[in-house]
A and B are shown apart, each in its own frame.
Chain A
């Protein structure tokens, strides 16, 4: 194996890839060759680093220098300065939003964003080349599988997972070991181990990053799980919209086969395990396990009633265990380091870590992995760096369209399954969307419900029609046509849908509405009774007004598409509220900040 004095890690995750990291890699390789450094410095395309907001991200080891927002034209400078002369390129080094501190003297783990994180599931993301099985093996890869197969009985494997307290990371938080126990207890000739990679929450990309950054970890966990429950066939149901993940999984499966880590007689133990990939066409409901299985079987992706549970009668009518990607991301570590180690992270009822996709009005958009039980405030303020532009934090939506919003007053809540559920939110799969003072909570509820209405499969009445009716009421409210009694109607529908819908999608769809009503009822009332949007967000409820800061430049009057603005040159202009269509063009045009919305 060749030795290099330096490694340049370029993020090949989703965010950085779309901001051009592939071109960076090309340029680095060209430049290094040109400078004759290609035998000394190695360029590695890794999985996601997490700090997507700072992408494309490049890290140079052994120093651990963290370059952010690197452009192709910066590459020459990094090569000639840093790699050739050993001088860090100061102006490209990541600067912390909150402290305005340059990380020039710090290594990655000392940066605010990473300092409070604990990487278990994402341990290899941004560290190894996901397309190279040797790198995975170098980081103890497939050792857990070897240990499980050669030193442990299936029961012992299940016991270890059970003892670790690991709960399903897909959202519901069901103890993983218990699930495995049920599947093991089912007697059948054929059993299946399924990996649910149908990540569908808007703004969530935890599973995607894990699949893209460390695909072998998922394969290894599936093989361990297959051994534990007595299955010799595995299925990964992954969205077709994740082409990089699919490609890397395919490659990983191929490599694992080559190395004999998948296929027949693994480690000479007589255990056989093979993995198939099935692409989903992007229906959110296919993340629901019974709908997912229907989809794998080639049927319309629709849930069916439980019982029978998959562990009894699942895929192709056989006992089946289904785990989410992130859940599986923890398995190898649990087997290797033991349940006690895993339990030492987090809190007793929610052990280990959880990955969140931070998005919305937050400085450090990206992927974070934190120990369970961490205060929400730490995630939002310390890791996320708070809201941009000095805006006031208003709420955070956890659990995506199935979750609820948590208001600023509850920021000190512990982030764990039970605490979040107690206040009407939920852990969910890990989407965390931050809202600031400019977000209208009625509109947020409308937004999430719009998503579920669109994604309802249409099988059961409450979800198919009920969510649609709720959406219509919310649309009415945000358009200033809310009526007395609408809130109560929403509550009645919401409670009914929650209790009577067929599957988890319907049962949780009303959560964003219920939680916003619970914590921001005054905003609903302002919309309905006063026809006012307190956040100045809902267009129909806004009035644009020109203040005395107007210089009479006439720019706004010329931009107005409906000629609603009048006034003489060099005199204060006026908007005719009857004519105004509230398009906001005037406000965007005014150079003097003289137009306000209220």
Chain B
């Protein structure tokens, strides 16, 4: 029985469970308390002092960290509170560069929004000396501009707590406090995994992706090149948000249309690469099981995870699947298979990947991911960058007609699209591995009242109610879906119990690996995604403000859209993808065969935590 606490906020009586913060209780009472440093589930430190409320104590308390108490009488909207919040905001502005017009976060900036909400009428009221910092843009993935930093430390919390990486933190003190890496090293020289969760956490333009749009525009303008594009599964369920569509809207058809209108010669789909990945990775797993290979085998789709493993858990490198990630596989196929079929010299092909991910920018540059001196993928842009390009091109995205991806490397199954959600790769792999190993068929099923899926189902219902009720959303392997940090399942395959686990967010991955190291757990197959929630909430996806995160969970809503797309597909298992089967028959031979190994598999390197 939950212990309820009764309190009054601005005269409104609310009853909430003990341990609730005043901020959450206020939300329940219909009051939005302004916040900057608060980020649900990630950062609760009471530092920015925007959410201060009057409880009658000597000083104002920060609602984000103040637990409710019985009979508490909270005032959030007094002249003094409004004044104090505004002064604190104006103080932040006095050490912020205020160059909004050319800021990548213009109109999507929480600081900017706050100025409007709190009625700031003079941004220079407390004008004084400002700190001035060099912009750190040496990382292939992430740019840090401390001139826009308001020291909310959301990025630090994401890096330290959510990701267990901790390469950024507060340095110096007082007015000279800044966020940086040890010994003032650039992000590129420290053991950053390029995941971009810091960017997703940043309320301002102090952190953003290394822009590649200019390079892509240049490619598109180069008539000597055949420029082809492939968007990742997670892009299609988030891109719409950049154009005002509700969170969780799937825009697959519009995405294909928009890419075509941008001028890409071929609009392929990384989903195709995902199906191919399942064929390779599934086969690799079956072989490892049959031949006594290194187990547990761990997925290798997430480049943030790969770098995490190479840096922090190098003893698990032999466990990593040797499969390239889907877009790298697809890039390799474009420059070999498609080039051959289309009669184009691979040297004249340029592959652009649209990814929900900043680590993919780093991955694309890895020397191992190349063939004949050509990188498999030439440029990576994030979902956000694609949105900027669409806007720049004047494409009316929301009103675009739906189009299909180009054939040969554009057809995909439902198994591929769920790659974008945590557990998706595992589920997709199990659908194939199970059927191949047991030589039986699994059928779609409808599951009602299953706790594990409640979040996903409810999220789905909020957006597209009628579809959910009609569709058989689930197949099997229920336990790998959902938002629990570490998920486990045991699947009976023939006479063996196969133990699988899924972790998302590298802090959860670390926990999982620790439990294996200590011998506490044994698994056969593990999926790890660097970002919490998987690719749908990757570091390159549309940024969701802290206020919005209090109202809904982008992890669940975007994942729901993927699961719906899966349910709507005629084929839902990778080995049922006719195009992929044709690829093997026509070009590659066997999964894990000689050519497949040459083109679709890779190796890893141990990376030092500290630069020597």
Contacts and interface: CB of A to CB of B under 8 A. Distances in A.
A515 interface: no
B83 A465 contact: no
B91 A460 contact: no
A545 interface: no
B49 A465 contact: no
A458 B59 contact: no
Contacts of A465: 91-92, 94-95, 126, 175
B84 interface: yes
Given A492-B87, A493-B87, A500-B84, A464 B174 contact: yes
- Give the residue among A461, A469, A472 with the most B Cβ atoms within 10 A: A461
B80 interface: yes
B176 interface: yes
A456 B83 contact: no
Given A305-B45, A496-B84, A500-B52, A468 B170 contact: no
A501 interface: yes
Nearest to A302: B170
B46 A502 contact: yes
B49 A502 contact: yes
A342 to B, nearest CB: 27
A461 B47 contact: yes
B30 interface: no
B60 A461 contact: no
Contacts of A300: 169-170
Given A458-B175, A460-B47, A499 B80 contact: yes
Interface in B58-96: 58-62, 65-67, 80, 83-84, 87-88, 91-92, 94-95
Given A305-B45, A500-B60, A457 B173 contact: yes
Interface in A297-315: 300, 302, 304-305, 307
B46 to A, nearest CB: 4
B177 interface: yes
A305 B94 contact: no
Interface string A451-468: 001111111111011101
A469 B176 contact: no
A458 B67 contact: no
Contacts of A499: 52, 59-60, 80, 84
Contacts of B50: 461
B65 to A, nearest CB: 4
A460 B46 CA distance: 8
Contacts of A453: 174-175
Interface in B500-543: none
Contact of B87 (A285, A459, A496): A496
A305 B91 contact: no
Given A461-B88, A461-B92, A507-B59, A305 B128 contact: no
Contact of B83 (A307, A461, A496): A496
A361 interface: no
A305 B84 contact: no
Contacts of A208: none
A458 B84 contact: no
A461 B91 CA distance: 7
Contacts of A502: 46-47, 49, 62
A283 interface: yes
B151 interface: yes
Interface string A401-436: 000000000000000000000000000000000000
A472 B175 CA distance: 12
A506 to B, nearest CB: 9
Given A458-B170, A492-B87, A500-B60, A464 B80 contact: no
Contact of B59 (A285, A457, A500): A500
- Give the residue among B47, B61, B92 with the most A Cβ atoms within 10 A: B47
Nearest to B46: A305
B99 interface: no
Contacts of A304: 45-46
A464 B175 CA distance: 5
Nearest to A455: B174
B119 to A, nearest CB: 16
Interface in B154-192: 169-170, 172-177
B612 interface: no
A252 B128 CA distance: 50
B133 to A, nearest CB: 15
B176 A458 contact: yes
B48 interface: yes
B52 A458 contact: no
B214 interface: no
Given A305-B62, A462-B91, A499-B60, A457 B174 contact: yes
A460 B175 CA distance: 10
B220 to A, nearest CB: 44
Interface string B218-260: 0000000000000000000000000000000000000000000
B470 interface: no
Nearest to B50: A461
A300 B160 CA distance: 14
Contact of B88 (A283, A285, A468, A496): A496
A498 interface: yes
B175 A456 contact: yes
Nearest to B52: A500
A500 B91 CA distance: 13
Contacts of A507: 58-59
A214 B60 CA distance: 40
A280 to B, nearest CB: 14
Interface in B79-127: 80, 83-84, 87-88, 91-92, 94-95, 126
Interface in B22-56: 45-50, 52
A501 B174 contact: no
- Give the residue among A302, A305, A498 with the most B Cβ atoms within 10 A: A305
A4 B45 CA distance: 62
Interface string B439-456: 000000000000000000
A405 B466 CA distance: 71
Given A460-B49, A496-B87, A469 B126 contact: yes
A458 B48 CA distance: 10
Contacts of B67: 307
Nearest to B61: A305
A456 B510 CA distance: 35
Nearest to B92: A461
B174 A305 contact: no
B341 interface: no
- Give the residue among A454, A460, A493, A500 with the most B Cβ atoms within 10 A: A500
B128 A464 contact: no
Nearest to A304: B45
B91 A466 contact: yes
10 contacts: A302-B170, A305-B61, A459-B177, A462-B87, A465-B92, A468-B174, A468-B175, A469-B126, A499-B84, A502-B47
Given A460-B49, A496-B84, 9 more contacts: A455-B173, A456-B174, A457-B174, A460-B47, A461-B150, A466-B87, A468-B129, A492-B83, A493-B126
Among all A-B residue pairs, the 3 with the closest Cβ atoms: A458-B177, A456-B174, A305-B46
